[in-house]
Amino acid sequence: MRRGSSNASPVILFSRIGRLDLIERLAAAILIPNAVIDEVRAGQRRDPTSAAALKWAEQYRIADVTVPASIEHWDLGAGESQVIAHCVGAPRWAVLDDRAARRCAVTHRITLIGSLGIVLRAKNQRLTDRSRPLIADLTRAGMVVDEFIRRILADVAE
């Protein structure tokens, strides 16, 4: 992954399992828009583990940009909108878990990856021996498991 702009969900999830290093090791550069930092900060009242996510994200902070109308009409959260806006027309990956945000990114021809993709890429690059334990940890940390994830695990023989 070249440069990546991440939304709050992957940052929070990987922080909860103590594996933010995977995002760092997979990306040449990480960009966290101000709106995403604000979302992580807002979660501190409900989630004391988000303090570590906030501290990590602050070192990659970038200013918010004007969100094009083609993104605004999707009615996404501020963080998702900023991540996509930062990737439009740039050789960057969007790190998104939200289904609507992912659809918006695809519509804008943005390369994307989510939390599950980070785990699978980490396994492919031998940053971890197995993906199933990380996915189990992410699930306990709040990642939604659906039939898609079960099929992916079956495909990688775990």
| DSSP 8-state class, residue 6 | E
pLDDT tens, position by position, 1-31: 567 889 999 999 999 999 999 999 998 899 9
Q: Is residue 112 within 8 Å of 93, Cβ to Cβ?
A: yes
- Bridge-partner residues for 94, per DSSP? 5, 112
DSSP symbols for 18-69:
T-HHHHHHH-SEEEEEHHHHHHHHHGGGT-TTHHHHHHHHHTTEE---PPPH
pLDDT tens, position by position, 36-87: 999 999 988 888 888 999 999 999 999 999 999 999 999 999 999 999 999 9
How confident is the model at residue 147, as a pLDDT?
64
pLDDT tens, position by position, 110-127: 999 999 999 999 999 999
| DSSP 8-state class, residue 145 | P
How confident is the model at residue 28, as a pLDDT?
87
Q: Does the pLDDT at position 88 exceed 80?
A: yes
Token representation of residue 40: 């992580």
Distance CA 152, CA 38 (A): 32
pTM of the model: 0.89
Dihedral (Cα; 5, 110, 71, 6), 10-degree rounding:
-20
How confident is the model at residue 156, as a pLDDT?
64
How confident is the model at residue 5, as a pLDDT?
87
Mean pLDDT value of segment 128-144: 89
158 closest CA partner among 121, 127, 120, 132: 132
CATH architecture of 3-155: 3-Layer(aba) Sandwich (3.40)
Please name the residue that has the structure tokens 């989630």: 47
